[in-house]
Structure formats: C-alpha cells, structure tokens
Amino acid sequence: MGKAVKNKQRPVNLDLQTISFPVTAIASILHRVSGVITFVALSILLWMLGTSLSSPEGFDTVMSILDNFLVKLVFWGILTALAYHIVLGIRHLIMDMGYWEELESGSQSARVAFVITGVLAVLAGVLVW
C-alpha cells in the first residue's frame, strides 16, 4: 500500500469567533466588504440616476421610492460603505508610499480611519434624513 501519513501538528482552533483579530485585519476585511457593497450598490445608484434624469415622472418615481424609511436606511448604508471604502483606500495609498507601515502606526491609522468614517456616516445620515 502507500506510505504511512505522518501525524502533523495542525491548527486546532478554527472557530473565527474565538480568534482575536488585530485592528488592521478588521480594517482590511471591512475594506473588502465595503468594496463588494459599493460594487453591488453601483447598479442601484446608476438606475436611480438614469431614472431620475429620464423625465420629470422618473424623478418623481425615484423621490417617492426614497421616501420609504427602509430605502433611506439602505441608501445610508450604501453611502457609509462608500465613505469607508474611500477612506481606507486613501489609507492604503498612503501606506503604498511608505508611510504607516509599522505595526503601531498602521494600527493608529486604522483607528483614525474608523473615526473619520464614523463622522462621514453621521454626515451621510444628515444628508439622507
């Protein structure tokens, strides 16, 4: 028969809820998630733009859709995801230029990006409502 398989040491804990992620990992994962949200939302936003610019009736249709609370909540979420993706994208560009590459400065820049996104999310909420 075949060779005997050696018993290798393998990771025992694969439960992601018990693993403590560093703030930089969380920022990176959320940046990818916000990119997917932005990509999917682009079709919705382009449809709304096209419909609103097509005619006065199309504009009224889009405005009546935006009167719904759930739609406003989704629209706010889209704007927040877009803001997050832009802020973290700028952070990544700055890191590509050689700044904030150390562990401490990278963690600090991720925290600052979270705060900036929080402020932009509040501003987006004011815009939507």
Binding site as annotated, residues: 85
The angle that helices 69-96 and 23-54 make with each other, rounded to 10 degrees, is: 130
Question: What residue numbers does the annotated binding site for heme cover?
Answer: 85
Question: How far apart, in whole angstroms, are the C-alpha atoms of residue 42 and residue 54?
Answer: 18
Q: For CA atoms 115, 116, 117, 118, give the dihedral sign.
A: positive
Residue 114 CA, distance from chain mean position: 11
